[in-house]
Amino acid sequence: MILTFAWRYLKGKKSTQAVQIISWVSVAAMAVGTAALIIVLSVFNGFEGFIKELYSDFYPEIKITAAVGKNFQFSEDDKLKLKSVKGIQSISFSLEEKVLMANDETQMIGIIKGVDEQYDQVTNFSKHIKYGKAYFKDIENEVPKIVLGLGVSNKLSVNEQSALPMNCYAFKKNAAFNSLNPNDVYASSLYQVSGVYLLQDVIDNQYGFASLQSVQNLTDKPNELSSVEIKLKNNVQADAIKSTLQTLFKSHLYKIETRLEQNRTLYFVLKSERWAVYFILTLMLIIASFNIIGSLSMLVIEKEKDIAILKTMGMQNNSIQKIFLSTGVLLSMLGAVIGCILALVICLLQQYFGFVKLGAGDSFLIDAYPVKLHVFDFVLVLATVVIIAALASLIPSIKASKKGIELRVK
């Protein structure tokens, strides 16, 4: 019965046009606020998914590194143990070292990462190669190949079309720093650039990728690794595999991390920004709710006679309060539903047509703002609207319940 009264008050014709106008303004305000909140959250979902995808093509699902120090040796028994774990799809071994990269007189300090042939199966790295190709297997009597980030390629003025190879210099394992002979301090190797990749600025500006064997030879570390990178089968939980690996390997020798643990700061920032925007835009909905207070207050004045009749018939004050409280919530929900439909249409159009662009040219990895719809966002926003509407309707509904019985016969 309470909802019946509330619905009649909401859709019924008002004696004063101002009340009708304010009611529809309230609906429009909640619709715009709801749509804006869902659209912004969907854009954040899109960026979050895009950034995670970029990082997933560099950071594996599970990574094993040395617990102490930089590098470690992984025995054949350890490799057999690792391969015996159910749920693992691919395994790649790598060695990272800081080197001096040089092309003619141009030099820079960068990182060379030696990877094996399984690396692309673990990270899908090759799909980010913009020019040329990647070769992670050495061929006898040939100069080893290297794939450079776009930033490194630009700094060194070298790319896949360069005829001459570049040089990489690394300190020897047991370098004699007191020697006057440079050859006693560092080793060097020629690398032919076979491709240029575009992944992420931090990575593009410092990393070069070559075969594992060539990097081990350059650094004189034939049996050493800096990481073991693992790709899991579909629907396999990384935390479960991590626990299994921790029981297989000695914790004081190896550090085992999931992708989330490898990028704690990144994931924390993404979540923090999303919730910060949610709370900021919720303030907009709170401001829009003041229209509901005004609309309900005028409705209470208009329905004074109805309130008196209902009380005369025996309706309790709390029932009167519930009627106007429900009216305010229904008013907001009507606007929220319209806003959800509007946001859904706009987001779907952006997904399929990308009419809102990020910028001109090739300076961005994507052309248009990414959008990803989550059911949770719709539920969250609708719940937020209900709570705000209930709080905004509370004062007018209490005033309505305290109205005295004043029936005048003219």
CB contact set of 405 (below 8 Å; sequence gap of 6+): 308, 311, 312
| 354/241 same-domain check | no
245 and 297 in a single domain? The answer is no
Question: Is position 305 within any domain?
Answer: yes
The reply to whether 409 falls in a domain is no
- Asked whether residue 160 is assigned to any structural domain, the reply reads yes
Q: Is 24 part of a structural domain of the chain?
A: yes
pLDDT classification of 410: cutoffs 50, 70, 90: very low
Among 206, 241, 262, the domain boundary falls at: 262
Residue linked to tokens 């719940």: 383
Q: Which of 45-49, 163-167, 283-287, 304-308 has the lowest mean pLDDT?
A: 304-308
- DSSP E strands in 283-407: the ranges are none
pLDDT of residue 184: 63
Mean pLDDT of 273-286: 87
Q: How confident is the model at residue 7 (pLDDT cuts 50, 70, 90)?
A: low
Same domain, 79 and 137: yes
Q: Do 210 and 108 belong to one domain?
A: yes
- What average pLDDT score do residues 45-59 get? 81
Same domain? For 235 and 305 the reply is: no
DSSP one-letter string for 260-290: HHHTHHHHHHHHHHHHHHHHHHHHHHHHHTH
Same domain as 212, residue 279: no
Instruction: Supply the pTM of this predicted model.
Output: 0.71
Give 25: exposed, middle or buried? Use CB within 10 Å, 0-12, 13-18, 19+: middle
What tokens were used for 27? 């609906």
Evaluate if residue 182 carries a pLDDT over 80.
Answer: no
> What pairing do the DSSP bridges indicate for beta strands 254-258 and 62-66?
antiparallel
SS3 track for 344-368: HHHHHHHHHHCCCECCCCCCCCCCE
Structural domain contains residue 410: no
141 and 272 together in one domain: no
Query: Pick from 228, 262, 296: which residue ends a domain?
Result: 262
State the average pLDDT over residues 66-92. Answer: 89
Together in a domain, 111 and 138: yes
Same domain, yes or no: 222 and 74: yes
Tally of residues, the chain: 410
Task: With respect to residue 22, please indicate whether it lies within any of the assigned structural domains.
Answer: yes
pLDDT of amino acid 13: 59
15: DSSP letter: S
Domain-ending residue, one of 241, 262, 283:
262
Average pLDDT of span 146-166: 93
Which of 357, 351, 347, 393 has the alpha carbon at shortest distance from 34? 347
The tally of domains found in the chain comes to 2
Residue 208 shares a structural domain with residue 280: no
Strands 145-149 and 62-66, by their bridges, are unpaired
Residue-wise pLDDT tens digits, 194-243:
999 988 888 999 999 999 999 999 988 888 999 999 999 988 888 999 99
Is there a domain that residue 18 lies in? yes
- 31 and 84 within one domain: no
User: What average pLDDT does this structure show over 33-43?
Assistant: 91
Is residue 142 domain-shared with residue 184, that is, in the same domain? Answer: yes
Domain range for 216 is: 62-262
Q: Are 60 and 229 in contact (CB under 8 A)?
A: yes
In a domain, 156, yes or no: yes
Helix (H) or strand (E) holding 387, with range, is helix 375-401
Give the mean model confidence (pLDDT) for residues 361-375.
76
Give the mean pLDDT of the chain: 83
pLDDT digits over 13-37, tens only?
Answer: 555 666 677 777 888 888 998 999 9
